[in-house]
Amino acid sequence: MLHNRNVWILLCGEFIAGVGLWLGIIGNLEFMQEKVPSDFVKSLILGAGLLASILIGPLAGRLTDQLHKKTVMLGSGFVRAASVIFMLIAIQQDSILWMIVFLIFIQVSAAFYFPALQAALPLVVAEKDLLQLNGIHMNVATLSRVLGTAVAGVLVVQLPLSQVYILSLVSYLVLFGLTWLLSFEEHKPEPLPSEGKRSAGFKEVFPIIKGLPIVMMTLILTLVPLLFIGGFNLVVINISEIQDSSAIKGWIYTAEGVAFMVGAFAIKRLGETFSPYTILFTFSFVIGFSQLILYFAAIPFLSILSFIIFGFAVGCFFPTAATIFQTRIPKKFHGRFFSFRNMLDRIVFQVVLLMTGLFLDLIGLVYMVIIFGVFSLLMTGVFYMRFVRLQNSEKLASTPGGMIK
């Protein structure tokens, strides 16, 4: 697999663009920290871009299945690079409104890019290599995040904010150039029916999800890590304020990122020993537990430990979930399914982001993480019991005379 030219292009592109993405994210936080005092208002600003990506989701899914994946990736890459211009205007005019325009365009580009990327991965490697590729791909993304946050932390102090975004723009242009070099076989996409175009998207995917219990279960369980990830940046800012330390932000991002990479490397061996269900339920419980540890957010060691545990857990969780989706969902529905999943993720992000900002303003971090942690554990427990009942009923049905009983 590692001798595959397309794999290296995708991994290099992910790393370079990831560094640029995190330069922009840290720049966003720095810009808002100066201009916006309320955590809830910060969450509303960040949520504007997410809302735009949710609205565009159905169209993104249909076009990803109708067009070649490379074409979609190139188009979204161009929009992503062009969006940085709006942020440069925002800095020049000291305007939050232009920042919102920037967030809308960059999130819309992501709504097209990531479903196309997820649909392209099964086309560049054999199915047996997908779990390993998903793990490596997520590790590269995490490594770029660790490096990007570390570099951005230095650059926002040393350079004007506009120059940080120019570096981000350069990375997006490099990604655009690398995407041109991709070359993989893809059956000519079949046009969707001209009539009922609006219903030809997600409605065709729902019966497939319903008919595949492992896909349905995995889709629901991904809500648990998203409950933590949705307000991640606001939580990190709040911990920094509680401990009165700017350095803790870098330590948290680095610790979580390294732990994620360890988990993504470990998942291949875990996948050989345990079933996907065991991995998903186990690490869903672990994620809920890591949230509860943040009750002690005032203690630097325990706050970092919480993110280490969380990082390792999601490093095992997400590659397993991605592989299940890529292998169980028919390829002709990949664009619509991954767009639907992307839209669902962003809806959850939107809700969690707003809840996080509101809770941080009203009840504070300590009580918020208790609510989130308990909810995660309860939800995982409820679905685990349903899964056990489903397994038992299937065993009973397969036993001679079981249907009579």
Which one-letter DSSP state was computed for residue 403? T
On the 0-12 / 13-18 / 19+ scale of CB atoms within 10 A, 193 is exposed
14 in helix, strand or coil? helix
182 in helix, strand or coil? coil
Averaged pLDDT, 381-397:
73
Residue with tokens 């995040």: 145
pLDDT reported for residue 233: 77
- One DSSP character per residue, 308-366 reads HHHHHHHHHHHHHHHHHHHHHS-GGGHHHHHHHHHHHHHHHHHHHHHHHHHHHHHT-HH
Is residue 159 assigned to a domain?
A: yes
37 in helix, strand or coil? coil
pLDDT reported for residue 188: 57
Residue with tokens 């490096």: 147
Q: How far is the CA of 217 from the CAs of 157, 214, 324, in angstroms?
A: 45, 5, 11
Of the two residues 179 and 123, the one the predictor is more confident about is: 179
Which CATH number belongs to the domain containing residue 98 in this structure? 1.20.1250.20
Highest mean pLDDT (candidates 24-33, 220-229, 319-328): 220-229
Q: Which of 8-22, 157-171, 201-215, 371-385 has the lowest mean pLDDT?
A: 201-215
- Count how many domains the chain has: 1
Distance CA 102, CA 52 (A): 11
Is residue 404 assigned to a domain?
A: no
Q: Are 50 and 107 in contact, with CB atoms under 8 Å apart?
A: yes
pLDDT reported for residue 400: 45
- Phi then psi for residue 249, to 5 deg, are -60, -45
Averaged pLDDT, 157-172:
85
Is residue 316 assigned to a domain?
A: yes
Is residue 104 assigned to a domain?
A: yes
Which one-letter DSSP state was computed for residue 405? -
Which range of residues forms the domain containing residue 168? 5-181+201-396
Which residue, among 338, 224, 344, 210, has the nearest Cα to 281 in the 3D structure? 224
Of the two residues 291 and 354, the one the predictor is more confident about is: 291
Is residue 254 assigned to a domain?
A: yes
Distance CA 241, CA 28 (A): 18
Q: Which of 106-115, 133-142, 256-265, 352-361 has the lowest mean pLDDT?
A: 133-142
Averaged pLDDT, 383-404:
62
31 in helix, strand or coil? helix
pLDDT reported for residue 401: 43
Which residue, among 303, 23, 37, has the nearest Cα to 164 in the 3D structure? 23
Q: How far is the CA of 221 from the CAs of 130, 210, 212, 320, in angstroms?
A: 21, 15, 14, 12
- One DSSP character per residue, 257-304 reads HHHHHHHHHHHHHHHHHS-HHHHHHHHHHHHHHHHHHGGGTTSHHHHH
pLDDT reported for residue 199: 40
pLDDT reported for residue 313: 92
pLDDT reported for residue 404: 35
Question: Which residues are CB-neighbours of 382 under 8 A, at least 6 positions away?
Answer: none
Q: Which of 37-41, 200-204, 236-240, 293-297 has the lowest mean pLDDT?
A: 200-204
Question: Which residues are CB-neighbours of 36 under 8 A, at least 6 positions away?
Answer: 42, 45, 96
Q: What tokens were used for 105?
A: 């365009």
Distance CA 371, CA 78 (A): 41
Residues in the chain: 405
Angle among Cα 237, 371, 103 to the nearest 5 degrees reads 40
Highest mean pLDDT (candidates 176-190, 306-320, 390-404): 306-320
Is residue 333 assigned to a domain?
A: yes
Question: Which residues are CB-neighbours of 172 under 8 A, at least 6 positions away?
Answer: 17, 20, 77, 80, 81, 84
Residue with tokens 């009165």: 244
Distance CA 378, CA 333 (A): 32
How high does pLDDT run on average in the chain? 80
Which one-letter DSSP state was computed for residue 202? G
Which residue, among 225, 236, 169, 168, has the nearest Cα to 29 in the 3D structure? 236
Distance CA 2, CA 195 (A): 43
The model's pLDDT over 248-281, given as tens digits with 9 standing for 90+, comes to: 877 887 888 788 888 878 877 887 788 777 888 8
Is residue 152 assigned to a domain?
A: yes
Q: What is the pTM of this model?
A: 0.67
pLDDT reported for residue 200: 45
Which one-letter DSSP state was computed for residue 204? G
Report the first-to-last Cα separation within the chain, whole angstroms.
50
Q: Are 48 and 104 in contact, with CB atoms under 8 Å apart?
A: yes
